[in-house]
Amino acid sequence: MISRILNNNLCAGCGLCQSIYGENKVSVKLNPDGFYRPEVIQKLSKDEEQLLSNVCPAIKVKNEKLLSPKKDIIWGDMYSSIICSSADDDVRSEASSGGAISAMLIYLLKEKKVSAVIQIGASKEVPYLNEVKISTTRDEIIENANSRYAPSAPLQNIHNNLKEYESFAFVGKPCDVAALRQYSKYNEEVKKKVKYYISFFCAGVPSLNATKDIISSMDININDVENVSYRKEGWPGFFRVIDKSKRSYKLSYSVTWMKLLGPRVQFRCKVCADAIGHLADIVCGDGWEDFDNKGFPTFKNAPGKSILISRTKMGEELVQEVLNTNHLILYKDIKNYRTIDKMQPGQYAKKIYFLPRYLGLRISNRPAPKFNLDFYLMATFKSNPIAFLKNLIGIRKRI
């Protein structure tokens, strides 16, 4: 089964398979293409493969029917959707957008609703790599607040990480959240200890090689790198590298993401119907407000703001608590969801053009992940017929 996933480029690189079966059976490592991928050391049994088919996001990303009071054909089930930012200036300045996720994490720790947070941050030893962080303080949350546009495998050692504390909030990409949420149905420790699932709008996982190439293009020796950040000094901020001589180099977000990182995301991300955290309790994204004459975000630097969507009752209760205790500044309660379409045109396009990409896989006799139909089916009716065909043809060319 893992070979079939790898041969069809459907692996998301979450690392869960290593945690389930142990490193002596499945070892997840960076491959030459710059992505985390499993290597099978021992063949899995039929029962082990059956479990994998129920939890792996390369195979399935499915949610149980939610009882949320609101629903949109693009943005899914929700209790509320707001534009907000952290009320803490330090958090807001260090975060990629408005710092809403960090504000909630700090609140959860402060009020002892969780003992620790599992999230991704920069490696101390190799600063252009990502690693799993267990944060237990405000300072650690702030240190790991910024986006990391490179591969990460947050579930690679999830069992070991869960042993450290009694309760957790988990922050990960939508596919990471889906994998862990699905696995919680089969593992009591995960079910008991992971209290909150928090995600963010994801545009895909770029190859680590793309980051290395940007660093090389700045004429910096990779061994001289001391710090790499993807979105610092404003919102959206800059890609910034600091070398061991404390010299700083930077490129704009529009150049690094739109031209250098975005085009090199893994194939699984191109056939994703859930880049907006359908299985999370809470999901956040950039609340862009400045647009060009074509209606596309200009990415001009400004104080950061976040779109925050609560998808479960637990998530909504947390949002209201954080608002009521003034950890978040509320700017707008979103009533018209077409506002989000404009703020997040990339995610909007992913939704309305997922079906032709899925059909492109099936027509080519390739497997595809199974998603809830309501993640994408009705959204397809907003697509343009010509663009629909272009997406269908485009995915077949990539195959």
Expressed as residue numbers, the domain containing 348 is: 62-399
* Residue that has been written with the tokens 């420790």 in this structure: 189
H or E element in which residue 40 lies: strand 36-40
Evaluated on CA atoms 136, 159, 147, 34, the torsion sign reads positive
Q: Which of 376, 168, 367 is nearest to 275 (CA)?
A: 376
Crossing angle of helices 174-183/46-55, nearest 10°? 130
Residue 57 is assigned to a structural domain of this protein: no
pLDDT tens for residues 346-394? 999 999 999 999 999 999 999 999 999 999 999 999 999 999 999 999 9
Residue 393 is assigned to a structural domain of this protein: yes
Is the model's pLDDT at 64 over the cut of 90? no
Q: Which of 175, 258, 260 is nearest to 215 (CA)?
A: 260
**Please, which pLDDT band fits residue 260 given cuts at 50, 70 and 90?**
very high
The pLDDT score that the predictor gives to residue 301 is 87
What the block records as the tokens of 237 is 């901020």
**Phi/psi at 358 (nearest 5 deg)?**
-65, -45
H or E element in which residue 328 lies: strand 328-333
Distance CA 109, CA 111 (A): 6
Domain count across the chain = 1
Give all strands of the β-sheet with 248-252 in edge-to-edge order.
Answer: 225-232, 238-243, 248-252
What the block records as the tokens of 294 is 């074509």
Residue 396 is assigned to a structural domain of this protein: yes
Is the model's pLDDT at 194 over the cut of 90? yes
The pLDDT score that the predictor gives to residue 345 is 96
Residue 98 is assigned to a structural domain of this protein: yes
Is the model's pLDDT at 313 over the cut of 90? yes
- The model's pTM is 0.96
Residue 47 is assigned to a structural domain of this protein: no
Is the model's pLDDT at 66 over the cut of 90? no
- Contact at 8 Å (CB) between 327 and 88? yes
Residue 175 is assigned to a structural domain of this protein: yes
pLDDT tens for residues 144-185? 999 999 999 999 999 999 999 999 999 999 999 999 999 999
Residue 45 is assigned to a structural domain of this protein: no
pLDDT, the chain, mean: 96
**Please, which pLDDT band fits residue 277 given cuts at 50, 70 and 90?**
very high
Residue 9 is assigned to a structural domain of this protein: no
